[in-house]
Amino acid sequence: MLLRISLFVAILAALAAGTLSYLEVTDKIPALTKQRDDEHSAKVTALTDLSNTKTKLAKTQSDLTKSQADLADTKSDRDKAVARAEAQVKRADELSVKLARATQERDDAQNELASFKATGLSPEQIVKLNKTLKDARSEIEAINGEKTVLEHEKARLQTRLDRYEGTNAFVMLRANLHGKILVVDPKWDFVVLNIGDDQGVLPDGEMLVSRDGKLVAKVIVRSVQKDRSIANIVPGWKLGEPVEGDEVSPAHPAI
């Protein structure tokens, strides 16, 4: 009897627990349903927003691509405009130079025409006079050249005469005679100068070698050519080593 009572009590307890669990689940179903619906609504909203965002992003990307293309076209147009402007400025400068040159040539021509009219001469007379002047210049140049040769010869003969008569122990050279050393031979102590007979160099003429205003040596001319001469270094006068480019001037300049 006791066993039956215990079994009955256990069955009642199980039924009570099941009923209680059912009631608790029944109370939670509306909340869970609402939570599911809310999450579904939020998901739909999120998907809609994502779709809208993608659409806007695609449009923005398209606008950006178009803006970049427009910017490239604008830059190209600007570069072309700048190049055209620079070309026009250069052309304007060239035209300004040509205009100035043409204006100067016109003024010169007008001045020459005025000078021509002022002479009262005919064109034929002007041409003849111009030829006469050219011939006179050529003749003067020839005379001056011959005069230089004669002066050199006179100086040479006078030097020889003075040495023969014993009136002058030194060869006098032109005071304005200046040159430079072209070659130096330290073994045989001679130098080659870039001046010769055409410049008035005379045999046995002595010249001072200097560098930066300081005396280096004294040389005596032994051989004279048209535009070159060879000179030996005078013993006792070698204060330094002559080098190419050193300047030379007369040791005994003529007054």
C-beta separation of 171 from 206 below 8 A: yes
Short-list 249, 174, 188, CA closest to 215? 249
Short-list 180, 229, 187, CA closest to 208? 180
Report residue 211 as tokens.
Answer: 């560098």
| Residue 156 pLDDT | 62
C-beta separation of 219 from 201 below 8 A: no
- Return the ∠ at Cα 29 (arms to 25 and 30), rounded to 5°: 140
DSSP H or E run through 207: strand 206-211
Short-list 248, 200, 255, CA closest to 220? 248
Rounded Cα distance, 233 and 158, in Å: 25
Sequence spans of domains, the chain: 1-118, 121-169, 179-250
| Residue 112 pLDDT | 74
Give the Cβ contact number of residue 249 at 10 Å: 15
Q: How confident is the prediction along the chain (255 residues), in pLDDT tens digits per residue?
A: 666 666 665 666 666 555 656 555 565 666 666 677 667 777 777 777 777 777 877 777 877 777 777 777 777 777 776 777 677 777 777 877 888 888 888 877 777 767 766 766 677 776 776 777 787 777 777 777 766 666 666 666 665 666 555 555 678 888 899 999 999 999 899 999 999 988 989 888 999 999 999 999 999 999 999 899 999 999 999 999 999 999 999 998 976
| Residue 27 pLDDT | 59
Report residue 83 as tokens.
Answer: 């190049």
Query: 3-state DSSP call for residue 210?
Result: strand
The amino acid at residue 83 is A
Rounded Cα distance, 255 and 251, in Å: 12
Report residue 40 as tokens.
Answer: 């579904």
C-beta separation of 225 from 196 below 8 A: yes
The amino acid at residue 80 is K
| Residue 80 pLDDT | 76
Query: 3-state DSSP call for residue 224?
Result: strand
Q: Is the CATH number of domain 179-250 2.40.10?
A: yes
